[in-house]
Structure formats: structure tokens, C-alpha cells
Structure 1
Amino acid sequence: MAGTLMRVAVVGAGWAGCAAGVEALRAGHAVTLYEMAAQVGGRARRVEVEGFPLDNGQHILIGAYRETLRLMRAVGARTTLDLLRLPLQLGFPDGTGLFVPRGPAPLALVQGLWAARHWTPPDRLRLIAAALGWALRGWRCPAHLTVAQLTAALPGPVRCGLIDPLCVAALNTPPAEASAAVFLRVLRDALWGGPGASDLLLPRVDLSRLFPERAVTWMRELGAEVRLLHRVHEIRQGPAHWELDGGERFDAVVLATPAWEAARLARQANPAWAAQAARLTYEPIVTVYLRGDGVRLPAPLLALRGEPAQFVFDHGQLDGPQGLLAFVVSGARSWADRGIDAVTEAARRQAEAELARFLRPPLRAVRTLVEKRATFRCTPALERPGARIAENLWAAGDYIAGPYPATLEGAVRSGVEAARALAGGR
């Protein structure tokens, strides 16, 4: 069936499934999109917080997310309006931190590192030397190394003030357990990826609206069938087709569900693939929303030094409610185990300790969201399942084998690649 147009089922309407559906339609295939929930977006979707559309977890994009930005524009997203673009910055409430100016990647990075006056000159020189060494080695390292091992020779203030926050933000895995090889790949694409690659892109609209809802509208306009509140229970392989739930037949299927759901659906088609997908382990992310009258932080995004949160977002500067702050706890396994009340109170105490000069206490808790399986744990030498399950049966998701951790860009790229593979019928 190579090179022919096909009838394709995409199971799952998260970012990977929407990307697969859009790309398959662009290639001329007939697409039916299935989603078990009433809402699209998967683990990056809208929730209501005090009647305002926010998100189930705070996400950011970076300029290096080229496939995500390309597809967003293809379906009508207004990327220059819907995303606040800022040069790379990791600023703390006291005004210290890393601020990378615009300009050619190597020079701008060195300028930003050297201007970080809260580190001593020797500390800055050691960090610059380490970064240049990583670049000279092609941003590669032995697969068994953790981020903590890779950066063990760096000064403690550099690790605590830069490496550790970047690691948990990018990989959602503590540095002592996170893959150094994947971390270096993220740094390479962000810091060495050309003009604008390291820019932070902060959503000004909720995540469902940012891409998935626009993608579904676009797909429907091109004739795709979208079936919400429809869980696929079983897929079976026929002589030259795939059959869903003992009924409809498709030439090809893309499983764009979470890994555990894809493992269940693929068990008959490829038991080994399903077993590998089922072996993945996960790390939570907790988002604590707090609100205070008259609160305005010095920037829309700040890094934090204490616990439990590593970052705080000021939604009043992102077209959201004034005074609403989102505290993000990545690598949150221990905090999730303590319960919502404990992590909420800890975040409130942290806010009043680190942000005291910007607050008019007391802050009040609005809502705390725990995504228990937010991302897979990105550990060294992790074996992730490949995209191909069987002939004309593909998987897409942020967990699929590839160079990236569990990010929106990884999900979108996997969806695009699965859709492009359909034309080959491999």
C-alpha cells in the first residue's frame, strides 16, 4: 500500500494525536480521530480555576520547538500573540540569575554566563569551560551518566542555581537520576540551535486552545471525523486492515494514547512492544495555584531556591487573573506522596519566604493539581519503545524512542513522524 492514500484511525487527541491527524490529512489521508475524554489536549489541557481557563499543569515552550510551532501555524494559531517570547532567563526573586541576551548562540551564552555576577569569576569560568567542552564533544556523553555525575566538578552554587533547575524543568527527573545524554541534547538544541532557539515561549492562552482545539477544528473542516467520549477497547489485525472494537476497518492506525493505554491496545499485535511500553515508570508534576491581592512579580517567570516549587508563574502578566501565581513542583514524587494539603501549605510558606517583598499576605490557596504520571522518568540508558508496532500500526507520544525527554515537542514530533511513515506502509 506504499504511496497510496489510506483510511487512518488516530486513537488519542492529545498533542501527539492532533499532530498525527493534521499531518496525515495534509498528506491526503482520510482520518478518524478517537478521544476517550470530552476534551482534547491529553495531559496538556485546560482546566477551570476560579472560572478562568488555565491548565492542568504549567507548560512552557522554547524557540527550538520548531515542529510544534510549524503545526500550530498550519492550523491557524497566532504564535506571536498566543505566546509571550522572552530571551532565555532563569531569574530569581532577588534579581540574580542567568539572563542570556539575544544574538549568536555561542557568544550570547558566554555573555549571559559571564554577566551572572552572583557567581564568582572562577565559578563563571568553570561553567563556561564546561559548556564549551560539551559543545566540542558534540553535546554527547556516555549513556550511563546522570546529570549529577556529568556536572559533579562544577561549583555548588552553579549546580544549585542553574543545572538543577534546568534539569528538573526539562526532564522532570531529579539530577541524581536524570539522563545526562538527554540533558545535553536539550541544551544543544536550545543553546546551540540558532537564533531564537533558546527563547522562552510562555502561553498566553490555555493549552487546549493553544493547539489541540484549533487542530481539531482544522481537521473537521478538511473532512476528518472526530469522536469524543469514545474509548477504543480493542484493535485486531485483519488480512489487509486493522479493525477497531470488532467494527470499523482502517488501513492504518496510530496509537497516540499514553504509554500504558497503548501497551494495552497493542498487546495482541506485538507483545514485546507492549511489555516494553508497560515497563516505563513515571514522575509526577504538582501545580499549586495561590492568589493574593495586588501581587505582581518582577517577571512572568521566576526560579525559586527553596522547596517544594522550582518555578513560579505570574498569570497576571500572561493575560490571566491578576494576582494568580502558579507554583510548579517538578520531580514531585515525594511531595505527591505527602498529599495535596501538605504540598499546598509548603508552597504557601515558600511563597511568603521567597517572595515576601512582592506580596500582601496572606496568599490564599486556589487549587492544587497533581498529574501523577506527568512524564516518564528520564533515566540513563533508558530503553523506550519505538514508533513501529506492526505493519501499518504506529505509536505516537512523548515516550517514543527519540532524542527528547517528555516534552510537547517530543509528542508533536512523534505524531508527525508516525503520519509520515504511513505513506511508506512499512
Structure 2
Amino acid sequence: MNIAIVGAGWAGAAAASQLSAQHQVTVFEAARQLGGRARCVPHSVFGHPIDNGQHLMLGAYTQTLQLMRALGLDTEQAFHRTELGIISADARYQLRAKALPAPFHMAAGLLTATGYSWSDKYKLIHLQLALQRQHWKVPAQQTVLQLLQQHQQSHTLIEHFWQPLCLAAMNTPIDIACAQLFANVLRDSLGGSRADSQMLIPKQDLSTLWASHALKHCELLLGHRVQHITPDTTGVLVDGQHFDACIVAVASYDCARLLGHLVHSAAEQTWLQHIQAIRHRPIATLYWQPRSPWLEPEPLLMLHEQPHKQHYGQWLFNHHAIPNSFADNLISVVISNADDASLLGRESLVQKTEEQLRTQTHSRSPLPAFEQHELIIEKRATFEATPTTFRPEENTFWPAIKLAGDWLLNPYPGVLEGAVRSGIKSAQAILQSQHT
């Protein structure tokens, strides 16, 4: 078959990897780089590539890791693997899983944690055991905050454990975030094996991490923003070029733009309206070049978000502590759900975030002076993962057109593993339609 894939993000690349060995695949990508919302920025003020956001993966991202290995990549070399930990920059809180088999790795980490009371530790264990007894199922329409309140999680746990984890995983505030999606993430990480719970920090930029390998057998058209997709009696036309099938692997708003003109029936109109109603949340990533390497040994630290001080940073990465990191000695801060932070203005946000860093790392190795910085704000980084967010299937009303993306129906919020799973599922749907 001759197959078009619109979008060279992680979903499109995953779909291409499943199809290009036996079929002719053409990939259209509007940007000049691969990776979609997880891509490389080749020209930075630092003179070397950086990513458009600081991404963190989990050992539980099984299909992504399996796909990378199938492409011949060494995942142990591609990532810096570290035990799951909540280590606050100000040293008030520390919880790190131990090098023990599950479930003892988390139990030992919790028992030796500092900053959390014994009552808090009991409540954490109680919540995990309750979710396990419920087979990780929670009431429909429940939010993360409602789940935490139901299980009597303390203010300390919510503010200094659950809220940072929820924002990191879902980029959605806990008072509206979907509890079931969050429970799925907890099931596959905290409730999984020790390897599943480990954190994986990429040591290569996200465009070359694996997407370039997945697309090496495809015709790749970078800088081509598709304008028209039209099904016909034998397949589909993509900007006038005929294909047997097409996978639309773009964000929901671009999907609505490309397929909206095909909608006629009431069912199709309802489907399109639901897609158009999907909301998105921004993520800001701030990079600094220190005058000298920061000698702090922890690669990842939790920051305390304090909106009343205009301190919005949540996670701090020290690339000097990551052996062979492509980002060299850069320091980066991630601000999820960055609507309020974006209102500050770029220079004010940089100033306030540096103030936050220097205040909260005061008890650690001295933070060097900063020479240069770069602020990247992805205004529509992920979809808003609420209990009522519409998430369609890969199949559409037009048999030759399939969808792919993290926003489609899958067990996860808007994370990279969800994109990969959707891309693989969409490719399988194309292959099944060929046989039927």
C-alpha cells in the first residue's frame, strides 16, 4: 500500500515504524524538525541544540521502550535512569525508592522518607492499597482532588507530593484533572515493578532519540503543512496526491482543520464539535547556561510553587549531573499549567524563576551565576485531561482515514507513551483494513 502520514511527532513516527518495512510511506511534517511537541530546537542561544521542553519518561512506558529496542537502539545508553524520587530543592522533603524488588522498593523509600509525618506516610500507603483493592478503578467523573480528599490526604501531601506529580504527569490542575487517568499512571509506575517506577531522562535530543530511526525508510517531507485531505473511491487525496490510506497524526485542533470540510451528517457534526471543544494547557521551560557547572549531584529536584510570590517553577533539572547529556551543563526549570506564569511577561518570568531557584537551593551546592537563558513556552503543549474530555478512537467516518495522537482514547493523559501507543494502534487498523 501507499500510505500518507500527516505529522512526524511521536504518534506519526510510531505509526511509520510499523508500516514502512512492507509499505510505501510518505510523511508530511509542517515543521523543519521531527518530534512534534517533543522535538529538538537546533539553534539556541547556547550554540548547541536543546529540546522544546524538558521531558521525563518512566520505565512503565513499555511500548515506547520496546519500539526503540526494535529499531536497534540501546535504551540504557539513550536515557539516564534513576530511582523514582521526590527530592525538594530546599531539602525539606525527600522520598526515594530503594534498590529492592517491588513492592519493597517503594515501601522502604516511604519508611525512610524525610519531611513527611508518620501520619502522612500511613495515608500514602492507605491510598495505594485502596487503589489496588479497587483494581485501580475510581468513580467515573472523579477528579484527582476529590480522590485525594476521599482518602484523607493531608495538606502537606497534596501540596508537596500529589500536586507536583499530577502536574508533571497530566499538565492539568488537580481540581479538574481526571482521577482515572492519574490512577492509571500510578498503577503502571508506583504499582509496577522497580524498573517501571524508575525515571528516565533523555541524554539525546528528542528529535534524534528515536524518531529519525523510525522514519528512515519513509519519504519525509519536512516543512510541508498539509492543506487538504479528501477521501475518494479508492483511497484518499492528500494535497492532491493519491494514497491508499492516510493517518492524521496531529493535534486535535489541526485534525479539526483538516477534516472539518468532510463533515455532513449529524453524527459527524457532533464528533467534530467534540474535537473542537478539546482544550489545551501550556508548558514553559526555562534554560540557563551557568558560568561554571553546578556541582549539585541530584539531576532532578522538586521546586515549591508559590504563586503569591510569582514563583511558578515545579521541577529543576541539572544536566551536569546527567552523564553524557546532550544539554551539557544547562540548568532547566519546568512550569506546567503555565497560564498564570505566561502573564508575567518573558523577562519578569525569567527573573522571578531565578529568584525562586536561588532561594530554594540555598542549602545545596552554591548555584553559579547564569550567563545566558532561553525561555520556551508551548502554548498548547498537552490537552486538558479532565474526566469529561472527549477522546475519540483511531477510526473515523471515512475508512481510508485514521487518527493518531496522545489525545485519542488510551489509558494515559497527554504523555509520550500515549502518543506511541496510538500510533501503533492506528497502523494496526490500517493493516487490518487491508486484510478485510
TM-score bracket, shorter-length normalisation:
over 0.9
Compute the displacement of 1:10 (Å). Answer: 0.5
Q: What letter is aligned with 1:193? A: G
Contact 1:292 1:359 in 2 (8 A): no
1:171-190 to 2 correspondence within 5 Å?
Answer: 171-190=170-189
User: What is the rounded CA distance, in whole Å, between the counterparts of 1:69 and 1:301 in structure 2?
Assistant: 21
1:349-368 to 2 correspondence within 5 Å?
Answer: 349-356=355-362, 357-360=364-367, 362-368=369-375
The corresponding residue for 2:351 is 345
1:310 aligns with 2:308: no
5+ long unaligned stretches in structure 2 = 306-310
1:376 aligns with 2:383: yes
User: What is the rounded CA distance, in whole Å, between the counterparts of 2:101 and 2:335 in structure 1?
Assistant: 32
User: What is the rounded CA distance, in whole Å, between the counterparts of 1:393 and 1:194 in structure 2?
Assistant: 38
The corresponding residue for 2:6 is 11
The corresponding residue for 1:3 is none
1:104 aligns with 2:101: yes
Contact 1:88 1:199 in 2 (8 A): yes
Contact 2:275 2:390 in 1 (8 A): no
3-state SS, counterpart of residue 261 of structure 2? coil
Q: What letter is aligned with 1:251? A: D
3-state SS, counterpart of residue 44 of structure 1? coil
RMSD: 1.7
Compute the displacement of 1:46 (Å). Answer: 0.8
Contact 1:309 1:347 in 2 (8 A): yes
The corresponding residue for 1:133 is 130
Question: Which shows bigger deviation, 384-393 or 91-100?
Answer: 91-100
User: What is the rounded CA distance, in whole Å, between the counterparts of 1:204 and 1:92 in structure 2?
Assistant: 23
The corresponding residue for 2:16 is 21
Contact 1:143 1:381 in 2 (8 A): no
User: What is the rounded CA distance, in whole Å, between the counterparts of 1:102 and 1:140 in structure 2?
Assistant: 28
3-state SS, counterpart of residue 39 of structure 1? coil
Compute the displacement of 1:195 (Å). Answer: 4.2
User: What is the rounded CA distance, in whole Å, between the counterparts of 1:360 and 1:11 in structure 2?
Assistant: 44
Contact 2:304 2:314 in 1 (8 A): yes
Q: Which residue, out of 103, 108, 117, partners 1:120? A: 117
User: What is the rounded CA distance, in whole Å, between the counterparts of 2:140 and 2:351 in structure 1?
Assistant: 39
Compute the displacement of 1:172 (Å). Answer: 0.5
The corresponding residue for 2:335 is 329
Compute the displacement of 1:198 (Å). Answer: 0.7
3-state SS, counterpart of residue 117 of structure 1? coil
Compute the displacement of 1:38 (Å). Answer: 1.5
The corresponding residue for 1:63 is 59
Contact 1:296 1:323 in 2 (8 A): no
Question: Which shows bigger deviation, 74-83 or 391-400?
Answer: 74-83
Question: Which shows bigger deviation, 364-373 or 59-68?
Answer: 364-373
User: What is the rounded CA distance, in whole Å, between the counterparts of 1:97 and 1:284 in structure 2?
Assistant: 28
User: What is the rounded CA distance, in whole Å, between the counterparts of 2:97 and 2:197 in structure 1?
Assistant: 9
Compute the displacement of 1:322 (Å). Answer: 5.3
User: What is the rounded CA distance, in whole Å, between the counterparts of 1:342 and 1:193 in structure 2?
Assistant: 41
Number of equivalent positions: 414
> In 2 relative to 1, CA 359–139 (structure 1 residues): closer, same or farther, beyond 3 Å?
same
Contact 2:103 2:193 in 1 (8 A): no
User: What is the rounded CA distance, in whole Å, between the counterparts of 2:194 and 2:88 in structure 1?
Assistant: 25
User: What is the rounded CA distance, in whole Å, between the counterparts of 2:253 and 2:205 in structure 1?
Assistant: 26
Contact 1:109 1:191 in 2 (8 A): yes
Percent identity over paired residues: 36
Q: What letter is aligned with 1:173? A: T
The corresponding residue for 2:415 is 407
User: What is the rounded CA distance, in whole Å, between the counterparts of 1:214 and 1:51 in structure 2?
Assistant: 25
Compute the displacement of 1:360 (Å). Answer: 4.3
